[in-house]
Amino acid sequence: MKCKSLELLDQLEKQVQEHMSFVNSLEALSQETLRKRPHEGSWNILECIQHLNLYGSFYLPEITKKISESNLGHNVDFKSGFLGNYFANSILPNDKEKKIKTFRKMDPRNLMQSAEPIPVFLEQQNRLLHLLDKARSKDLTKIRIRLSFSNWIQLRLGDIFRFIIHHNTRHIVQIKNILSLTTTH
């Protein structure tokens, strides 16, 4: 995939704002609704948000560090890498919703839950918006960010942004599905 860097950042920024708006609306729901599981062994809404927070806790500091260390100026075009494009596209939800097993360290059921995952998520998304803004003056192709599950694989900054935001989209859709299943029974 090849595109204009600023157009990509604009598109991603819009998606983050949509995610924030939706998650902000969840604060009006009862704790019972937020904690209700649609099926035995599945995640509830707060666990979905906490899962996203775990990813944010890893990637946001990594991106912040790499952006601040980089002296590479803006590049008009962004060219996605093969692996980065694969990861970013494969995490998007689709009609044939395939389950993707999460890594143990990113499973919210294996960890102490944050008392307030929604405000943490919103704060992380504000930080993500700030990083997207800072990235406007950087080279999205040449700056590399390591993956949470591998110290050896690094993806281009533009691909990491796409992966994180597409991953958020996937779990926003999951939350909407949970709401439709738990509020109709």
What pTM value is reported for the model? 0.88
Nearest alpha-carbon partner for 140 in 26, 1, 6: 6
Give pLDDT tens digits for 6-44: 999 999 999 999 999 999 999 999 988 998 888 888 889
Provide the residue range defining the domain that includes 152.
2-182
Total domains in the fold of the chain:
1
Using only C-alpha atoms, what is the Rg of the chain? Answer: 17
Residue 14's contacts (CB-CB under 8 Å, 6 or more residues apart) are none
Distance (Å, rounded) from C-alpha 153 to C-alpha 157? 13
* DSSP conformation letters of 29-55: S-HHHHH--SSTT---HHHHHHHHHHH
More confident: 65 or 72? 65
Residue 48 sits in a domain whose CATH number is 1.20.120.450
Please name the amino acid found at residue 103: F
What angle separates helix 157-182 from helix 117-134, to the nearest 10 degrees? Answer: 150
